[in-house]
Structure formats: C-alpha cells, structure tokens
A and B are shown apart, each in its own frame.
Chain A
Amino acid sequence: MGRYLVVRAYSMALTLLGLTVLVFLMLRLIPGTVVEQMIGADAIVSPEMVAQLRRFFGLDQPWWVQYSRWLGNLAQGDLGTSWRTGKPVVRLILERLPVTIELTLLAVGFALALGIAAGIVSAVRRDRAVDNVVRVGALLGLSVPVFWQGTMLILFFSIYLRWMPPVVWVDLFADPRRNLTIMVLPALCLGTASAANIARTTRACMLDVLRSEYIRTAAAKGLAGRAVVMKHALKNALIPIVTVAGLQMGILLGGTVVVEEVFTLPGVGRLVLWSIYQRDYPLTQSTILFVAVLFMAINLAVDMVYGYLDPRIRYGE
C-alpha cells in the first residue's frame, strides 16, 4: 500500500506540473489582459500608463519568467494575490470553499440515498411496475439539464407553492436551518443525474449478485428476504457502487460551477468563472489547480476505499 501511495503521489505531482503549464499557457493565449480589463475599452489612458500597469503586474516579462515565478511561489505554498481584489488567493478560495464542499456533499448524500434505494428496489422487483418506473426515471434524470431543473423547481416552489428560499447567503454555522433552506434546491438539482447513475449501477450490480449461488444458499437456509438483500447481496455489490459514487463526486464538483451560477451561491465555481472574465491570472490559475488537487484526492480516496471493501484488491503487491 505504501509503495502504491508513493507511485500515485509521484504521478499526481507530474500531472499537476503539466496542468500548471497548460492553464498558464491557455490564459496567455486569450486576447486581452487584466490591464485592458481595468482601463476599459473607451478609456483614454496614455501608453506610459499602460506600460506602467503591465510592469506592475509583471506582464512585461517573457512568459517563462512569469511561469517560473508562479511555480516558485507555488512551491513555497504561496498561491499568489488576486489582481482584481488585492486579496491572497488562498483566502478567497477558503472563503468560498465551504459553500462548494457543502453543496457537493449534500448532492452526493442525496444521490447515494435515492440512487441506492431505487437501485435495490428496482433489482429486487425486476420487470415489475416499480422497476420500470425506476429505469425510466433514471434515464430522465440523466437527461435533464441541471439549470433547467433548477429553474423549474424555483418556478414550482415560488409560483405554485408560494415558497421561496432565502436569497441572501447565510453560512451553515451561523444559521444552519436557513442555510439548509437555501441549499436544498441546488443540492437536489446537482445530485439528480448522479442519483440516476448510482441507481443504474446499483440495479445492475444487485441483479448480478442476486443470481449468485451464495445468495440462493442464504435464501435456502431460511434467511429473511430483507437480510439476504441487505447483508449479503448489497455488501458484495458495493464495490462498483462506491466507484461510481466516487467518480460522481468529482463530476459533481465540476457541476457546481453551473449550479452556483443558477442559484447565485458564493462558491469556488463562480469564483473561477469571475476570475476568467476579469483576466485575473493568479486567481484563475491557482483556483483551477486547487480544484484539480481536490478532484485527484477524491479519486485517490475512492481507490483506497476499494481496498477496504474488497480485501482481494491489494495495491503494489
């Protein structure tokens, strides 16, 4: 396991190094810099002033000098300072990270609860009405655009039920009830497609396991149907479900960018979008890198959980 972790860490470091080059170059390839954004299209500013601003942001330096400076700072744990707000990037990320994490976790929780329950019921009642409902529902869940679902939920709740979630953001720890009222619709929207995916995987795995000899033996021994399904079948079907759930968590992390925009939540996704529009290079570069680290950590954690669930899987041995 130790050796496996070292190899994975080395591979992740290489990937991150590649990502720094990619993000850095992509940002430099787009027309316009923070200086043009700041002075605006119609502003009358002297060329000297423009040159001074470019010097101030280090944009007068060749790209490799700018890149090596950023990398050097990264190596020392310094993510840089946002050009547009003047605040340290790490502070901006940490201010918004709880929103994104909370949204992702709530969506994963919803997706797991609904997906696994629906998948089990669907498999146990194969080819019955409930199975068909789950299968069609899962297909619809995979096809519904998250922003449209959000819009329709707002429409339904605000116009037909005359209930509107609070508009002003409230921190979870400041007012948990109000915070959850704000988060329930976004989490539902974000988690729907994942719930559909998890339901399909659970159904397929459960059907596979339910056909096994040992399940027949357990039933023949007189074990109750519920015990056979929950204790024997589900436990053995969990590995692929965990894989899909882990992968979904990463996908959900990416999906927050749209959901945060639809529901105007102050999360990391909206921060990335805002920083790109503002040509705030340090903020964009470091935030994308941060999300990538988070994404890779989730994937690594999923791999680790494999080993725990299935002792036959041994890493690096």
Chain B
Amino acid sequence: MRGRQLRRVTRSTVVVLGGLVALVIVATALFAGGLAPSAPDEQNFDLIESAPGAKALFGTDRFGRDVLSRVIYGSRISLYVATVSIGIAMAIGGVLGLTAGYLGGAWDNVINRVMDIFFSVPGLLLAVGIAAMRGPGVNSAVVAISIVYTPLFARVMRGPVLAEREKDYVQAVRALGATRLAVALKHVLPNVMSPFVVQGTVAFSQAILIEASLSYLGLSAQPPTPSWGNMLNEGRTYLETAPWISVFPGIAIMLSVLAFNLIGDGLRDILDPNVQ
C-alpha cells in the first residue's frame, strides 16, 4: 500500500469506524479471560434462565451459564476460523492465481478448469457439504471455508496478473535478465495486491457468517465450547422462556460481519482501481 493510499485509508470514516469495532472484537477475543465475568462453562444453579439484569448483564442459559461470558468466549471460535481459513485460502489461492496468470499455458488451463469445478456448486452448500463429510468440528469448518474461498482468491489474483505481465516494465525487467520468480514476486505481486486485500476483508466477514451457519447446523465447534452459532442453536428451544440466549450471539455475529464489511467497503473505494 502506498503512502498516499494509506493516508486515504486512515482518513476514511467508514474504514476507521469498521476498524474500531473490529479492534474491539479482536481485543475481546484476545483478552476474553480477563473481560468475561465468569468462565464460559461455569454453571450457577441459582440463576437458571435468568433474564438480563444486574447479576448477569446478558442473562443466563438453561444451565445457569452467563450468556455474556459465552458471547465473549464465542468470539474466539469465529475469529479463529475466519482468520485461519481465509489465511489458507489467500495463501493457496494467491499462489495458484499468480502462477496461473504469470505462467499461462497448460498450467493456467488446468487451474481454471479445477476452479470452475468448485465454482459449479453454490458456496454455502459446498461448505456445508464438506463440513458434513468431514464430521463436526472447528477444523472441519476451517477446511470447508478454505476450500470454498481458494478458487475465489485464485481468480481475483489471476485477472490483474494477466494484465500486469503484458506491461512494458515487466518486459523490461525480464530483458534485464531477472528470473521469472523474481519478476513475479518482486514486481508483479506488489502491483496486484490491492483488489486481493479488499477481497480478503470481504471474504473475512463472509467467513464469520459461514462459520456461524456451520456452528448453527452443528458442524463446527461442539458444545459445551461456546460459539455464536451453536449458542443460537441451543437458544432456539428456549425462545419463549429465554429469548436473550438467542438475541445476543446474533447481535455479536451481525456487529462483527458489519465491521469487516465496512472495512472492505471503505478499502474497495480507496484501493480498487476499478471503482475509482
């Protein structure tokens, strides 16, 4: 990111607002132990399904567990899954897209064909299918989301690389004797990173949503480990008597997704040359 772009990013109200909320959520996940009023699985039998109040700010669930503490700890699963899965997808997709776009030829064809296969199934269905096949667990969610997003990142990287490799400066560096690898990594890659980073932020927010969906369907973190999705699923049975069990995890998901959407939106406006 160049200095001028960085200044525009820090001056953007949307990005700063999204960034602040995201920072609070990340800090909450990191310091959950210090912030949560109690351990997420601590049961208080005097406060079963207690409504939000002075004793429990977000109320308690059917086992007397503090909903606020579980929401705070639940942020760890969401952020962990989103970070690892999008990290993996960006790394693998980035390498595939860069090599496909830069080398072209048969390798590009093979990559494109394989990506088409993954694009032929709706993303959420693919994620649910993969997670269900692997069996429930946080790692299943990570694998599923990584597989869904790798083709997308490969495509987002490949397009700009194709355009960039034809430019004069790339030909000039090649003529000066630079190796293909050096040209790709030192010269092409830095010039195609903007749309890739923007896509990364948007995908991160979507990964939080998909993880929550998988948790809700019982395919990601398993109880008693709290995750926003499985808290919502547990709370569904007690909608009439204790709606707060379902309300707060949902708000947490929405706020997190909103924060990263705001960052993605703001970054797109600033960094993506297609919308400038």
Contacts and interface: CB of A to CB of B under 8 A. Distances in A.
Contacts of A266: none
B121 interface: yes
Contact of A30 (B122, B133, B240): B133
B254 interface: yes
Nearest to B214: A258
B250 A148 contact: yes
SS of B interface (majority): helix
Interface in A261-278: 261-262, 269, 272-273, 276-277
Range class of the B interface residue count: 35 or more
B250 A152 contact: yes
Residue from B132, B235, B253 with most neighbouring chain A CB atoms (10 Å):
B132
Nearest to A296: B120
A143 B261 contact: yes
Interface in B43-59: none
A18 B134 contact: no
A273 B132 contact: yes
Contacts of A151: 232, 235-236, 239, 246, 250
Contacts of B257: 142-145
A143 B254 contact: yes
A71 interface: no
Interface stretch (A8-16, A77-85, A231-239): A8-16
A154 interface: yes
Contacts of A277: 132
Contact of A257 (B125, B130, B249, B253): B125
B174 interface: no
Interface stretch (B5-13, B24-32, B110-118, B162-170): B110-118
B95 interface: no
Interface in A1-25: 11, 14-16, 18-19, 22
Nearest to B243: A155
A284 to B, nearest CB: 8
Contacts of A51: none
Residue from B116, B120, B258 with most neighbouring chain A CB atoms (10 Å):
B120
Nearest to A249: B122
Residue from B122, B229, B261 with most neighbouring chain A CB atoms (10 Å):
B122
Interface stretch (A167-175, A179-187, A287-295): A287-295
Contacts of B128: 257-258, 272-273
Nearest to A20: B117
Given A155-B239, A258-B217, A292 B121 contact: yes
Residue from B135, B212, B216, B217 with most neighbouring chain A CB atoms (10 Å):
B216
A140 interface: yes
A17 B132 CA distance: 23
A93 B19 CA distance: 45
Contacts of A284: 129
A147 B217 CA distance: 10
Nearest to A22: B117
A179 B88 CA distance: 43
Interface in B227-276: 229, 232, 235-236, 239-240, 243, 246-247, 249-250, 253-255, 257-258, 261-262, 265
B209 interface: yes
B189 interface: no
A253 interface: yes
Contact of A145 (B134, B212, B239): B212
Q: Nearest 9 A-B pairs (CB), nearest first? A: A254-B122, A148-B250, A143-B257, A18-B117, A143-B258, A254-B125, A254-B124, A276-B132, A292-B120
24 contacts: A11-B116, A14-B116, A15-B116, A18-B116, A19-B121, A142-B257, A144-B257, A145-B212, A145-B250, A145-B253, A147-B212, A147-B232, A151-B232, A151-B236, A159-B239, A159-B240, A254-B122, A254-B125, A258-B128, A261-B217, A288-B121, A288-B125, A288-B129, A295-B120
Given A26-B130, A139-B258, 4 more contacts: A145-B209, A155-B246, A258-B217, A295-B121
